[in-house]
């Protein structure tokens, strides 16, 4: 026996199909579709603005960096409204069309009225009652500040002028303020009224009373960088030479060619000195200050509170009763036995399921009279289930049935 076959058997048993039989059959599947939607849900809040970003790099501006714009605030999600309706099964007893049911839904849905007649055929459709809260708006994003201008470099020194100082860099622009995300709206309220004989219609009901999700956090804009200070001009140095006197060599006697001697005057030379000159360089400019990071709150919103669901059952005799959960059958235990009692489940072999125990964990007893609870096994790609159905009696809230 393959592992896939074993898993399929377990899934078939654990996914117990519960249905109600009146003039119609309702079954559930994971691909259930909406037959009709009664919508009183809250609208989503508005998101905060996303502001334009300047380049934060220094030197981006020609002067002081521009500050980023602050974001607009978000708005909270709208709370869900009220659905207050009466549901009725209009199908006559002993209908000649056992596979069809006629349903009436009348009352208020939000600010409007509803008076709808539905013709329901066996399917996996449901009626959605939707009062979920709206999503909170996302926080706004402040714009990034612009980088300040860089300072101008000073002119280098020459023989005539000292070096110029560099100018200061410009301040960067401040980042824009972000805004926080807003809270989700609270779920609304659903009130369904029905006669006791029509409680089988609750099998068709699907509700959404959830609170709206919170808005995402906002973001403060980044500040622009301060501009770089300009470099001071370089210094300049040079030398000059000047005559400070003369120096003569001593006279000396030289022999003439005829044997006589004469006095030769010593040569004279200028005595010079070298002077060093310097024109100082300029000072570097100061870097501009970075822009300011805003510290306002940019936190996300909070989840909206769930709403309320009420079912009021009008008794045939006695006062009406109000509940917050319908009946809900869950599988508690079962027994499986193979055909030849060897404890091995083989492909193609019959497997008997017995001792199926279910419990009603809801607040309302399962329907009785016109509608009965049917318990059956579902088929799959690996399993062919016998179409036999078990009819269960009315199961009170909290009670079990085997």
The reported pLDDT for the residue numbered 371 is 64
Report the Cα 129 to chain-centroid distance in Å.
Answer: 26
In a domain, 265, yes or no: yes
The reported pLDDT for the residue numbered 10 is 43
Reported pTM:
0.73
Same domain, 2 and 77: no
Same domain, 34 and 107: yes
Same domain, 58 and 186: yes
In a domain, 270, yes or no: yes
In a domain, 369, yes or no: no
Q: Do 66 and 54 contact (CB within 8 A), yes or no?
A: yes
In a domain, 368, yes or no: no
Same domain, 187 and 301: yes
Same domain, 73 and 105: yes
The 3-state secondary structure of 177-245 reads: CCCCCCCCCCCCEEEEEEEHHHHHHHHHEEEECCCCCCCCCCECCCCCCCCCCCCCCCCEEEEEEEEEE
> Which of 129, 135, 131, 113 is CA-nearest to residue 41?
131
* Residue 153, CA atoms < 13 Å, CB-side half-sphere: 6
How far is residue 26's CA from residue 16's CA, in Å, rounded to a whole number? Answer: 14
Same domain, 69 and 217: yes
How far is residue 171's CA from residue 153's CA, in Å, rounded to a whole number? Answer: 17
Report the Cα 377 to chain-centroid distance in Å.
Answer: 40
In a domain, 60, yes or no: yes
Q: Residue 226 is part of which domain span?
A: 28-235+287-324
How far is residue 385's CA from residue 8's CA, in Å, rounded to a whole number? Answer: 12
User: What is the pLDDT tens value at each position of the chain, 402 positions in all?
Assistant: 333 444 444 444 444 444 443 333 333 333 457 678 899 999 999 999 999 999 999 988 889 999 999 999 999 999 999 999 999 988 776 454 445 678 888 889 988 888 888 777 655 678 899 999 999 999 999 999 999 999 999 999 999 999 999 999 999 999 999 999 999 999 999 999 999 888 888 988 999 999 999 999 999 999 999 999 999 999 999 999 999 998 988 888 888 777 788 888 888 999 999 999 999 999 999 999 999 998 889 999 999 999 999 999 998 888 999 999 998 888 888 888 877 777 777 777 788 888 888 889 999 988 876 666 777 777 777 778 777 777 778 888 888 888
Give CA torsion, residues 329, 332, 333, 334, to 10 deg: 10
361: left (phi over 0), alpha (psi -120 to 50) or beta: alpha
In a domain, 372, yes or no: no
Pairing between strand 125-130 and 33-39? parallel
Same domain, 199 and 117: yes
The reported pLDDT for the residue numbered 103 is 85
Same domain, 172 and 32: yes
Same domain, 162 and 249: no
The reported pLDDT for the residue numbered 121 is 64
In a domain, 367, yes or no: no
In a domain, 54, yes or no: yes
Same domain, 128 and 7: no
Same domain, 315 and 179: yes
Same domain, 79 and 199: yes
What's the structural domain count of the chain?
3
How far is residue 389's CA from residue 124's CA, in Å, rounded to a whole number? Answer: 18
């Amino acid at each position: 026996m393959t592992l896939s076959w074993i898993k399929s058997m377990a899934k078939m048993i654990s996914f117990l199909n519960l249905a109600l039989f009146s003039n119609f059959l309702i079954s559930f599947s994971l691909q259930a579709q909406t037959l009709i939607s009664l919508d009183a849900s809250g609208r989503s809040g508005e998101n905060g603005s996303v502001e334009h970003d300047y380049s934060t790099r220094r030197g981006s501006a020609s002067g002081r960096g521009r500050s980023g714009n602050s974001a607009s605030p978000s708005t909270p999600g709208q709370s869900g409204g009220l659905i207050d309706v009466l549901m009725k099964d209009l199908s006559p007893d002993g209908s000649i069309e056992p596979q069809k049911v006629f349903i009436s839904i009348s009352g208020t849905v939000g600010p409007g009225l509803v008076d709808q007649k539905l013709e329901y055929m066996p399917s996996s459709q449901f009626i959605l009652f939707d009062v979920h809260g709206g999503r909170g708006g996302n926080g706004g994003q402040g714009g990034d500040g612009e980088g300040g201008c860089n300072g101008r470099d000073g002119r280098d020194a020459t023989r005539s002028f000292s070096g110029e100082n560099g100018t200061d860099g410009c301040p960067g622009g401040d980042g824009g303020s972000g805004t926080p995300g807003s809270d989700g709206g609270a779920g609304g309220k659903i009130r369904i009224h029905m006669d006791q004989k029509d409680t089988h219609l609750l099998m068709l009901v699907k509700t959404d009373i959830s609170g709206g999700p919170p808005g995402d956090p906002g973001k403060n804009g980044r500040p622009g960088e301060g501009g770089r200070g300009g470099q001071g001009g370089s210094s300049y140095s040079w030398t000059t030479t000047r005559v400070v006197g003369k120096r003569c060599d001593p006279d000396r006697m030289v022999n003439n060619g005829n044997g006589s001697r004469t006095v030769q005057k010593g040569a004279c030379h200028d005595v010079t000195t070298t002077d060093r000159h310097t024109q100082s360089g300029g000072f570097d400019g100061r870097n501009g200050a970075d822009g300011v990071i805003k510290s306002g709150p940019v936190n996300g919103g909070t989840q909206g509170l769930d709403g309320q669901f009420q079912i009021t059952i009008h008794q045939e005799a006695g006062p009406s009763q109000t509940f917050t959960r319908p009946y809900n059958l869950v599988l508690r235990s079962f027994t499986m036995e193979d055909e030849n009692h060897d404890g091995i489940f083989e492909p193609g072999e019959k497997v008997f399921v017995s001792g199926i125990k279910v419990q009603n964990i809801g607040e309302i007893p399962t329907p009785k009279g016109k509608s009965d609870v049917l318990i059956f096994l579902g088929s799959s790609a690996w399993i062919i289930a016998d179409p036999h159905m078990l009819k269960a009696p009315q199961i009170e809230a909290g009670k079990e049935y085997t």
